[in-house]
C-alpha cells in the first residue's frame, strides 16, 4: 500500500503529512506547534480539516469520556481502542497515544509490549509521563527500537497523589533545578518532544531555551514551542470547568443544549399536529 504525503483540507487545499521531523523543524524555525486531544472519529474528521500539527489520544479520556475524577483507572486497552477510532479519519496530523498509569516504567519488556500495542493500533508515537532513571532508560530503549516517545514533566496526572494534588510546579529553586534536569534527561534519552504541564511560565521558557527538542505547554505560559488543550475544554463543552490558563474558543455547552431543546420542541409540535 502506498500512502500519500498530502491530504485535502476541506476538499480543496492540500496539506503535507506532519511527521516528527516537521515538529523539530518548527522549533528550529521558531514556528509554533498546535496540538489537541481527540478520542473519536467524528471529532478527528473535523481536526483533519484544520491546521492542527499533532493529536494526542490522552488518558484524559478518563475525565472527558468516562466522567471520572482522575486518569488513574484508564487502561491501555481503552487508550488503544480510542487510538483506533481516531485513526479512522485522522491522516495529516501526527497521532500520539498516551501510555496510561502503570504501563511504562516497570521494565523494558512490559513497556515495549505496551507501547507496541498503541503503535499497532495506529499511533505514530507514544507519550510517557515522568523522567526517573528507569523511565529514561526505557525511553532510550523504545527510541532505539523504532518507537518515538514524547515526554511529559511538571504536573503529571498519573502522579497526582504523589505530587500532592493539581498544583503549579517549579515554584521553588529545588523544583526548578529538578525540572530542568528532567527535561535534559528526557532529551538525552531520545524524546522528540516534551509536554510541560502547569509549570511556572518563566521556568517553562527556560526549559524551552535549554533543550533542542520542542516543548508543548499546557498551563505553562506562552513561551513554549507549542501548546496543547483538551478538545472538549477548548470548545467550552463544560462551562463550569475554566482554569486560569484555559480559553473557551466556543461555548458549545449552551449551543448544544439549545439545539437539543429546539429538537424536543420540534418533536412535540409535530406530535401535536398529528393529534
Instruction: Work out whether strand 33-37 and strand 54-57 pair parallel, antiparallel, or are unpaired.
Output: parallel
Give the containing element (helix H, strand E) for 95.
strand 94-98
Which stretches within the chain are classed as H helix? 20-28, 41-48, 61-64, 76-87, 108-121, 133-144, 160-163, 173-189, 201-210, 231-234, 252-274
> How many angstroms separate the Cα of 2 from the Cα of each of 5, 38, 49, 211?
10, 26, 22, 35
C-alpha cell, 174: 529545588
Q: What is the distance between the alpha carbons of residues 23 and 31, in angstroms, rounded to a whole number?
A: 9
Confirm whether residue 59 is marked as ligand binding: yes
Confirm whether residue 60 is marked as ligand binding: yes
Cβ proximity of 35 and 56 under 8 Å? yes
Q: What is the distance between the alpha carbons of residues 173 and 67, in angstroms, rounded to a whole number?
A: 36
Angle between helix 108-121 and helix 76-87 axes, rounded to 10 deg: 30
Confirm whether residue 25 is marked as ligand binding: no
The catalytically annotated residue of 48, 124, 197, 205 is 197
197 catalytic per annotation: yes
Name the CA dihedral angle for 23, 80, 42, 57, rounded to a multiple of 10 degrees.
Answer: -40
Binding residues for Mg(2+): 59, 98, 129
List residues with catalytic annotation: 197
Binding residues: 59-60, 98, 127, 129
Binding residues for 3-methyl-2-oxobutanoate: 59-60, 98, 127
Amino acid at each position: 500500500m502506498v500512502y500519500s504525503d498530502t491530504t485535502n483540507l476541506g476538499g480543496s487545499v492540500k496539506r503535507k503529512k506532519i511527521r516528527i521531523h516537521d515538529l523539530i523543524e518548527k522549533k528550529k524555525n521558531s514556528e509554533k506547534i498546535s496540538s489537541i486531544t481527540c478520542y473519536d472519529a467524528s471529532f478527528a474528521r473535523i481536526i483533519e480539516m484544520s491546521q492542527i500539527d499533532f493529536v494526542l489520544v490522552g488518558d484524559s479520556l478518563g475525565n472527558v469520556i468516562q466522567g471520572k475524577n482522575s486518569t488513574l483507572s484508564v487502561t491501555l486497552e481503552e487508550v488503544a481502542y480510542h487510538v483506533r477510532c481516531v485513526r479512522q479519519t485522522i491522516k495529516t496530523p501526527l497521532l500520539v497515544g498516551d501510555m496510561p498509569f502503570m504501563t511504562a516504567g516497570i521494565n523494558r519488556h512490559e513497556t515495549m509490549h505496551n507501547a507496541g500495542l498503541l503503535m499497532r493500533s495506529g499511533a505514530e508515537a507514544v507519550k510517557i509521563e515522568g523522567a526517573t532513571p528507569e523511565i529514561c532508560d526505557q525511553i532510550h530503549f523504545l527510541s532505539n527500537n523504532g518507537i518515538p516517545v514524547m515526554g511529559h514533566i511538571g504536573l503529571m496526572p498519573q502522579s497526582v497523589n504523589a505530587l500532592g494534588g493539581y498544583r503549579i510546579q517549579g515554584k521553588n529553586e529545588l523544583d526548578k533545578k529538578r525540572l530542568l534536569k528532567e527535561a535534559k534527561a528526557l532529551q538525552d534519552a531520545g524524546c522528540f518532544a516534551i509536554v510541560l504541564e502547569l509549570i511556572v511560565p518563566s521556568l517553562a521558557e527556560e526549559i524551552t531555551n535549554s533543550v533542542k527538542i520542542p516543548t508543548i505547554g499546557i498551563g505553562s505560559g506562552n513561551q513554549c514551542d507549542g501548546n496543547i488543550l483538551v478538545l472538549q475544554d477548548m470548545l467550552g463543552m463544560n462551562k463550569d470547568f475554566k482554569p486560569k490558563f484555559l480559553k473557551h474558543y466556543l461555548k458549545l455547552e449552551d449551543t448544544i443544549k439549545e439545539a437539543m431543546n429546539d429538537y424536543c420542541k420540534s418533536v412535540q409540535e409535530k406530535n401535536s399536529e398529528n393529534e
